Structure 1
C-alpha cells in the first residue's frame, strides 16, 4: 500500500483523484485549507505542511486558484517535499499555458517550471478545460437575453473523471516527466457549445459572436489551448449536461 498526499483533495478534481486512489487500496492524505487532519493553506506553509508530506511516496498537486498565489504555494510544497524526501511530485496543468498569455495560465506555467526544477522526481500532465468550467462560463453568458460569445474561439472540454483516472494512475508509477496532453473528444465552436447548453437547460437565447482584441484573445482564437492531436477523452459535453 502506497501513502499519497493529494493537495486540493476536496475540489472537483482532487476529490475524484482521492476516490480512485483509495479504491486502488492506497492510503490517501487529503490536504486543503479546511480538511482535518491536514488543514493547510499552501500559500502559508509551516509545520502542518511538513507533517502532511512526511512519509508519503507521492504528492498529487491539484490545489490551484485563479485568484493568485499558486507559485508561492508550489514553492512551499516543493520545499516541504524536499525536506521529507518525497520521491514523486505529480502536477496537473492546462493545455496551452505556454501559448496563451492569460494571467492564470502564466502562473500555471511558472509552477510547471518550479516542479521541473525542484530536484524531485516529477510528472506533469496538461489537460483541456473540464466540462464544469465550460458550463459555468455558458451559464454566465446566458444571464442576458443575448449570449455574446468571443468570435472564432473553440474549446475541447473533457470529463474531469477521466483526468482523475489518469492522474491516479500516474501517481502510483515512477516519475515520467512531461506526459502526453489529455484533450476532450471533440473540438467545438463556442456557438455550438452554447446551443447544446441552451437545449439542455430549456432556455431560449439569441447567440451572437463578437470579435475581441488583445494577445490573449488571439491566442485562444488560434487554438493555443486546444489539443486536437490528443483527443483521448470519451465523455462528450452533451453527456455531461444530461447528468
Structure 2
C-alpha cells in the first residue's frame, strides 16, 4: 500500500514514518521543501496554498493526515488546508483518508481545538472514505508544559487538571492498524493507560529529575478550567495504551520515574 503522510517531520510523524516502512508500506511524505532521504519519497506540498497537493496525492492508496499548525495560520492550514487536501485526494480517487485529531476538541474552549474539530468535519463531509483518530496528549508535550509553567522557579498550575498521556509509538501502531483495516467512517480515540492529576504528574517529574522545585497551586478560572478539571482531555473510552508517564520519565532521565 502506498501512503502519503502529511506532517511527516512533526512529533508524531517522526515516529510514524519508520513504523510504516517496517510494516511494509510504501511511504511518500510531504514537506514545504523536498529533502534527501533514501528510505522515503519526499514531495513539496503546501497546505496553506494548495501548491503541490495534486502531485502529492497522485497514485497513493491512502493519506495519513498529521499536519497541523497550532501557533500560526491555524485556520488557513488546519481547516482550509485540510479542505484542499480532501478535494485533491477525492479527485485522485484516493481510497482512504485518516485524520489525526485530539481528544477534547468538542469540549475544550480553545481556538486551536475549534479548528481541529472543524477539520474533522471537513474530512467527514468530503468525498474520500475516512477515519478519524483522536489522541490524548503526548508525554513530551506534557513535560514541555511543566517546564514552561516552571520557568520562573516553582511550577505554577492547577493541581486538579486531568491528563491521560499516550505514547506516540502506540498512536503510530493504532494508525497502522487503521490503514490496514480501511475506512471506518467514525471518530475513534486512543489514550494512555492512566489518568493523572497535574500535581501527580509534577511530583513524578520532580522525582525523576531529583528536583525540589515546589508546585505553586493556581486554580485555572472560567470554562477552560472547569472543563480541564472535569476531564475534557481524558478519553471516554477504555484506555488502550500501556506505556505510562513513569515509563516516559524513566526513558528520559533514568531510574524508575515513579512517584
TM-score by length of 1: 0.95
Q: Does residue 127 of structure 2 align to residue 119 of structure 1?
A: yes
Equivalence for 1:34:
33
Take 2:69 and 2:225, find their aligned partners in 1: how far apart are those partners?
Answer: 21
Take 1:34 and 1:235, find their aligned partners in 2: how far apart are those partners?
Answer: 34
Structure 1: runs of 5 or more not aligned: none
Change (3 A) 1:70 1:180: closer
In the TM superposition, what is the alpha-carbon distance from 1:22 to its structure 2 partner? 1.0
In the TM superposition, what is the alpha-carbon distance from 1:179 to its structure 2 partner? 4.5
Take 1:80 and 1:151, find their aligned partners in 2: how far apart are those partners?
Answer: 45
Equivalence for 2:63:
59
Q: Does residue 147 of structure 2 align to residue 139 of structure 1?
A: yes
Equivalence for 1:7:
6
Per-residue displacement from partner, 1:45-72 (whole Å, max 9, x unpaired)? 12x2111100100000001121213112
After TM superposition, list the pairs within 5 Å mapping 1:1-243 onto structure 2.
2-36=1-35, 37-46=42-51, 48-67=52-71, 68=74, 69-227=77-235, 229-243=237-251
Take 1:143 and 1:228, find their aligned partners in 2: how far apart are those partners?
Answer: 33
Structure 2: runs of 5 or more not aligned: 36-41, 252-259
Stretch deviating more after TM superposition (203-212 or 51-60): 203-212
In the TM superposition, what is the alpha-carbon distance from 1:7 to its structure 2 partner? 0.4
Per-residue displacement from partner, 1:94-140 (whole Å, max 9, x unpaired)? 11111111111111100000000002100001111011110110111
Equivalence for 2:256:
none
Change (3 A) 1:201 1:39: farther
Per-residue displacement from partner, 1:70-111 (whole Å, max 9, x unpaired)? 112101111111111111000011111111111111111000
